[in-house]
A and B are shown apart, each in its own frame.
Chain A
Amino acid sequence: MTAHPAPNAKTDQDQNASSPTDAKTAARQKWMSVLARTPRKRLEAKWSDTYSAEKWTHLREPQIGMVMVRGRAGGAGQRFNLGEMTVTRCAVTLSDGTVGHSYVKGRDRVQAQYAALFDAIMLRDGSAETFINDLADEQAARKRKHARKVAATKVDFFTLVRGEDE
């Protein structure tokens, strides 16, 4: 049997998409998501290279906690609580008063702290933009590489049975 995709295939999962946000927020969401996926060592190294002279304080010390992950029945229906994940959060204040925040998967307090610091730097003057773009490119490349390995396991049933369906 051949599947017929809906021309405007769209699932109910879209209904909860985040409300329209301005470009500034969208940019911040992007860098926060990149920082959340960057290991502590990369952040630490860049900070001590470029920003070690910065004066800053903790607004909120790194704290480990959990987020309850929610799913939807059938992927699109009623919400339910799937299970929890560990998350670490932190908030910092730079000497000019700029506040940076982070919420990152896992229990690495140092990673959360640097993620908050880079968030603050980006809010203050955007000077870590190249660094963050490089990280984003690396993450995208890793994802693409994996997706190509996965693609190599794609079964071409159609080729195997060509002619049978005609």
Chain B
Amino acid sequence: MYVAVKGGERAINNAHKLLAEQRRGDTDIAEIETDQIEQQLSLSVTRVMAEGSLYDRDLAALAIKQARGDLIEAIFLMRAYRTTLPRFAFSKPIKTAEMDVSRRISATFKDLPGGQILGPTFDYTHRLLDFTLMANGEQPTEAPHGEQPVDENMPRVLDDILNYEGLIQDEPTPVNENAPVADLTREPVKFPAGRDLRLQNLSRGDEGFVLALGYSTQRGYANSHAFVGEIRYGTVSVEIEPEELGFAIDIGDIELTECETVNKFKGSKTKLPQFTRGYGLVFGQNERKAISMALVDRAMRANEMGEQIMGPAQDSEFVMEHSDNVQSTGFVEHIKLPHYVDFQGELELVRRMRTEVEERLAKRDAEDDTSQPEAAE
């Protein structure tokens, strides 16, 4: 089979050259720069960072360029790159309460301290194609300034407003803050999975998959009717405590979107009814993903809440085993790769089975022929 291997190598090399040529496209058109992608396709960059599970805008832009805009391929490239880097530290838990918000809205309270801040949103746009972007290029004007900056440290809707009256469940805090935190990048996932593992899985999970599952919970495949208590998008600083220093240092800001849902209440003979919570947190600006994540997080808390499992979104094992698009695409797409030997085996099996059946039928026909006179009697 030596000849076939040589032929394959040349074909593969040429295929990659053709891929490179097609990636570049028409050379009369300027090549796209990664910093243009980083700045002007920033929501693609966001998605690649979130699902690639690596916050680095430049790398995500490069991955998008290399993948010709195929975001799942770009996510794959990010995942592969991250395996080459050492991990220096775990951050201290980021403080979303101290986020410098670019957007902050609540669908449950109209007048809330700090206000409804729309920020850079597609909401309320008319979804009409803007042909000026194509024809003349954009002539951007600077956005208007308010008199005063937005408030710092805005109160949180669930903790500071709803919980003030005890109307919502407390977020359970572990007694032992030094207890290990599950990490699916280092240990195999085991079921039943804790909420830490579920949240990590959802945050890096495929946007489309998490969206569809979130949608399914709203359509009745989980009974957890949700309101958006609060959405925040903005920057938070990340702190680590390096051993050689012995104190916490701030290493820079990252963009995050956070969503907290207020869900169907729960009470018992001993407890007054209270709302329950779902939580979504993702890198970058991605509300669709954050809301979907919160819906699915709440649905996966079914066991903890003593709810009947009635939909796929409540089945943690189903959700977590199918949410990762690198894993999914790997397994779905691998069936296009050479399976000649496997298939040869199947082929021979089917041929043998067919022969056996044919032989059996022929034998029965022959017996029928000889026995026909008797049957006719």
Contacts and interface: CB of A to CB of B under 8 A. Distances in A.
Interface of A: 1-6, 9-16, 18, 21, 25, 29, 32-33, 36-37, 63-87, 89, 91, 101, 103-107, 143-158, 161
B373 to A, nearest CB: 81
A73 B199 contact: yes
Nearest to B199: A80
B249 A13 contact: no
A15 B148 CA distance: 30
A24 to B, nearest CB: 10
Interface residues of B, number: 100
A37 to B, nearest CB: 6
B91 A78 contact: no
Interface in B163-183: 163-165, 170-174, 177, 181-183
Interface of B: 49-50, 53-56, 58-59, 82, 85-98, 100-103, 106, 108-113, 115-120, 143-150, 155-161, 163-165, 170-174, 177, 181-185, 194-197, 199-200, 203-204, 237-242, 244-245, 247-254, 258, 260, 277, 279, 281, 283, 297
Contact of B249 (A32, A73, A85): A32
A69 B55 contact: yes
Contacts of B102: 146, 150
A86 B281 contact: no
Contacts of A155: 115-118
Contacts of B203: 82-83
A18 B116 contact: no
Contacts of A25: 247
Given A4-B165, A147-B149, A79 B100 contact: no
Contacts of B184: 81
Nearest to A63: B86
Contact of B253 (A4, A89, A105): A105
B252 A105 contact: yes
Nearest to B57: A106
Contacts of A13: 93, 95-98
B254 A85 contact: yes
B88 A65 contact: yes
Contacts of B85: 64-66, 86
A150 to B, nearest CB: 5
A146 B177 CA distance: 35
A135 to B, nearest CB: 14
A86 B181 contact: no
The 8 closest A-B pairs by CB, nearest first: A105-B252, A151-B146, A147-B149, A77-B171, A74-B171, A85-B55, A33-B250, A9-B160
26 contacts: A3-B113, A3-B157, A4-B161, A16-B93, A18-B248, A29-B250, A66-B54, A67-B87, A70-B92, A73-B196, A75-B96, A76-B97, A77-B170, A80-B181, A81-B90, A82-B199, A82-B203, A83-B54, A87-B251, A101-B245, A103-B249, A104-B251, A104-B252, A146-B100, A150-B117, A155-B117
User: For B85, B148, B204, which residue has the most chain A Cβ atoms within 10 angstroms?
Assistant: B85
Contacts of B165: 4
Nearest to B81: A86
A152 B144 CA distance: 6
Contact of A80 (B56, B89, B97, B195): B195
Given A11-B97, A11-B160, 7 more contacts: A18-B247, A29-B250, A79-B181, A82-B94, A83-B55, A85-B55, A85-B56
Nearest to B238: A69
A105 B238 contact: yes
B113 A103 contact: no
B294 to A, nearest CB: 10
Contacts of B115: 154-156
Contact of B161 (A5, A75, A107, A143): A5
A70 B87 contact: no
Contacts of B254: 69, 85, 105
A3 B145 CA distance: 27
B196 A79 contact: yes
B117 A74 contact: no
Nearest to B84: A64
B109 A66 contact: no
Q: Which of A6, A78, A106 has the most CB of B within 10 A?
A: A78
Nearest to B294: A74
A106 to B, nearest CB: 7
A37 B237 CA distance: 10
A13 to B, nearest CB: 5
Given A4-B164, A80-B199, A66 B238 contact: no
Contact of A71 (B119, B156, B281): B281
